[in-house]
Structure 1
Amino acid sequence: MSETTSSKPMYEKIFDEVKRGIMTQAYKPGERVPSEKELAEAYSVSRITSKKALELLANERLIVRKPGRGSFVTDPELEFTEEEAPSAGGSREAPVKLLHQEEKTIGLVITDFGNSYGTGLIYGMEQAARDNDCFLVLRRTFGVPENEERSIQKLLGLGVDGLIVFPAQGEYFNAEVLKLVIDRFPLVLVDRHLKGVAAASISSDNLTAALKGTEYLFDLGHTSISFLCPPPADTTAVEDRIEGFIEAHAQRGIMVDKELWLSDLTSTLPNSFNDENIERDIGRLVSHLERHPSITALFAIEYNIALLAKTAVERLGLRIPEDISIICFDSPPTHLGGGYAFTHMRQNEEEMGRIAVENVLSIMNGCSVPNKVMLEARLIPGESTGPARQPKSL
């Protein structure tokens, strides 16, 4: 294939050359054009780049793309439905007037999901995908960066048109995410944003949510509040919740006592959730409460940590909420008769999922989307909070 000295992006160069081949009938109607893999190898580019060139050709109705079969030149005087596209041998059925755009596929890479958080996200994404006639493919990483990298590579290899990524826990973001950003591949991050990476993201307004939850405890008379979380490890969702907790104290003129915090609970992290680690964290919570009898409330950064805290409080023979109140982020619905109704900040998961799908589709269509979208979380009162009482000496 010929070289060009143009300063255009590589996908446009590939588009121009293949289009030229079609217009000069180097590729005749019904013939297959080079695949993403073949173009990537010929031009020494990533498959993301060659895929984008083929998408531009399809958008101009110069080719029709058939999953699993390839891309074929359309007849310039006739247009075909996806079902009636030319076969590899060039034969075709009777044409119709309209060429339907093939169904878009979005890959979802998520750490994991459960009743307390994640299931609502997927519900919202699936509904938005149905509403927009696209298909969602899910891969779980269980919070392991290597799994995340392999999952992205696998989905790209399957030819997804866009990606939604729930990044793995911690400061690490893999090279595949960076490549996607550099190549301007349609990408939306969910639940958190990555520092220094110009990718669209959708999450809760974690700072404001933590601030509101802390103010709720203040209004109940609590001032000795223990903040419970895993190591922040540069994870923006955790950092924002810590900042909201601190900001609430500043606004009320209440001093933050970090001696009351327990910020290295690890049993709820991916790949650490086992009986031994859970028992160790419960023991640490028991010891922490014994060392700090002034504590009247616990702010758990997530539901599973709230469950650990509840167990620790009960082991000490204390009552919830009479002796100690507990508030957390997210809690499974209890209207079906299961679970404990914690007071919690409820994230708008389904709306978050819907916006993630709609934003990645907008990026596919060449439209700009906000770099960062943050949704409000609602305070849901439950059984676990009440007025502050004088702390007991243990």
Structure 2
Amino acid sequence: MSTTHRIPLHRRIAEALESDIRGGSFAPGARLPAEPELAGRFGVSRGTVRQALGTLRERGVLEAIPGRGSFVTSGRPSRPETRRRVIGVIVPSVAEPYVPDLLGWIEDELHARGYSMLVGSSGSTREQQAGRIARILEEGAAGLIAYPIDYDPDPALFAHLVQSGFPVLLIDRHLVGLAIDSVLPDNLGGAYSAVSHLAELGHRRIGFLSTDNLSTTSVAERLQGYQQALVAHGIPLDDRLIWAEIPLRRRWPREVRAQNEVALIARHVAREQPTAIFTLHDGLASDVLDAAGSLGLRVPDQLAIATFDDDPPASQLSVPLTAVAQPREQLGRQAVSLIVDRIEGRRTEVARIVLPTRLVLRRSSGGQVAFAGESTA
């Protein structure tokens, strides 16, 4: 058995045995092989097997008869009712500006459907993500809504969960090559609308500013939308105006991070001299504002800015940001609807839902300040 996953070994053995039972390998009332035989099958110690059997007893799948062994209970194996009404939710950090509202909408929809929520923070690291998911599994959650981390989201972990029959749904981004339910904003269409807006204002040197996690599907889609908008408006693609070298924000001090980012952005702007910039998210747009100030550039007269996300701070900066607004509420509620339908057996096919975004015009782009319209997802 592979040890690459961070899910506890006894938990994986329990899932494998329960899958055998559900598949008919052991009928109700049948006795499971003895602990030494199971230990040999899975290549683990008897203590690990004993933990796995204990997990199945807690779920009501097995019952132990002293002196005789472990037997499959009568009827359909199931977890206790109180455990089936919990959904785990994994987010990067509850400190991110968009997360509290997103969790609020998820919890509100879960409550309406008779479920509760168990939240874990991935901390943007593979190890912490795996640990939080393992804890959610140990709590007996009926399913998982996950916002995968950047760089290396551990697709093998999610593939293992799905293959074991555990309901999983991804939000914000999907994992290439994996058939997993997902609910996403229209990253490509939203970026296209923002960059088209800048082009229609007459800009020809439009930059794209991003963190360096281009393998993340949401980031790649926004870059693709930027490129498609330039082509559609007859603007030649210039790789020098695509700058995706800023490290993803981690836990190092925010003040130091911001100072470093602003200095890097200022050097890039001074070198390439774009007249407009589209940024991956609001945080980078705020840094561009500071960089422009350090260079003596007036926004939007000498440098126009548009961004993606439209979290609350976007409208409160010294120059309010033109931004692609994410449909956070619809994303949270749709995610709950899909995963509950799968848990309760109303849906078996894999779904990928792409929700339309809308462009909100403010002073940073220099266009007419108003709601501009939705993407066409």
TM over 0.5: yes
8 Å contact kept, 2:59–2:80: no
* Correspondence list, 1:200-215, <5 A: 200-215=181-196
8 Å contact kept, 2:58–2:79: no
Q: Deviations over 1:110-164 (max 9, x none)?
A: 1124564333321220111111010001011121110000001111011111111
Q: Which amino acid aligns with 1:146?
A: E
After alignment, is 139-148 or 337-346 more displaced?
337-346
The alpha-carbon deviation at position 292 of structure 1 amounts to 2.1
The question of 1:123 aligning with 2:104 is answered yes
Please give the alpha-carbon distance, in whole angstroms, between the structure 1 residues aligned to 2:156 and 2:310: 34
Q: Which amino acid aligns with 1:65?
A: P
| From 19, 22, 41, the counterpart of 1:12 | 22
1:33 aligned partner: none
Please, which runs of 5 or more residues in structure 1 have no aligned partner? 1-7, 22-37, 68-101, 388-394
| From 149, 153, 162, the counterpart of 2:143 | 162
| From 289, 293, 298, the counterpart of 1:314 | 293
* Correspondence list, 1:1-394, <5 A: 9-13=19-23, 17=27, 19-20=28-29, 41=49, 65=80, 104-114=85-95, 116-173=97-154, 175-266=156-247, 268-272=248-252, 274-293=254-273, 295-333=274-312, 341-366=320-345, 367-386=347-366
Q: Deviations over 1:356-386 (max 9, x none)?
A: 1111111111222543111111101112111
More helix by share: 2
After alignment, is 347-356 or 328-337 more displaced?
328-337
Q: 1:225 to 1:337 in 2, by over 3 A?
A: closer
Fraction of identical pairs, as percent: 24
Paired residues in the alignment total: 326
Please give the alpha-carbon distance, in whole angstroms, between the structure 1 residues aligned to 2:261 and 2:78: 59
Please give the alpha-carbon distance, in whole angstroms, between the structure 2 residues aligned to 1:243 and 1:336: 26
Q: 1:123 to 1:59 in 2, by over 3 A?
A: farther
Please give the alpha-carbon distance, in whole angstroms, between the structure 1 residues aligned to 2:126 and 2:222: 23
Please give the alpha-carbon distance, in whole angstroms, between the structure 1 residues aligned to 2:81 and 2:297: 65
Q: 1:59 to 1:321 in 2, by over 3 A?
A: farther
8 Å contact kept, 2:59–2:78: no
The alpha-carbon deviation at position 318 of structure 1 amounts to 1.3
Please give the alpha-carbon distance, in whole angstroms, between the structure 2 residues aligned to 1:106 and 1:332: 25
Please give the alpha-carbon distance, in whole angstroms, between the structure 1 residues aligned to 2:74 and 2:238: 59
After alignment, is 329-338 or 352-361 more displaced?
329-338
8 Å contact kept, 1:205–1:374: yes
Please give the alpha-carbon distance, in whole angstroms, between the structure 2 residues aligned to 1:355 and 1:327: 27
Please give the alpha-carbon distance, in whole angstroms, between the structure 2 residues aligned to 1:273 and 1:375: 34
Q: Which amino acid aligns with 2:141?
A: V
CA RMSD of aligned residues (A): 3.4
Q: In structure 2, the residue corresponding to 1:288 is in which secondary structure?
A: helix
Q: In structure 2, the residue corresponding to 1:374 is in which secondary structure?
A: strand
Please give the alpha-carbon distance, in whole angstroms, between the structure 2 residues aligned to 1:176 and 1:334: 34
Q: In structure 2, the residue corresponding to 1:341 is in which secondary structure?
A: coil
The alpha-carbon deviation at position 47 of structure 1 amounts to 6.1
Please, which runs of 5 or more residues in structure 2 have no aligned partner? 1-17, 31-45, 63-71, 368-377
Q: Deviations over 1:234-270 (max 9, x none)?
A: 100000001111111122221111112221112x523
Q: 1:355 to 1:16 in 2, by over 3 A?
A: farther
Q: Deviations over 1:161-188 (max 9, x none)?
A: 1111110112431543221021121110
Please give the alpha-carbon distance, in whole angstroms, between the structure 2 residues aligned to 1:62 and 1:158: 17
Q: Tell me the TM-score normalized by structure 2.
A: 0.77
The alpha-carbon deviation at position 44 of structure 1 amounts to 7.1
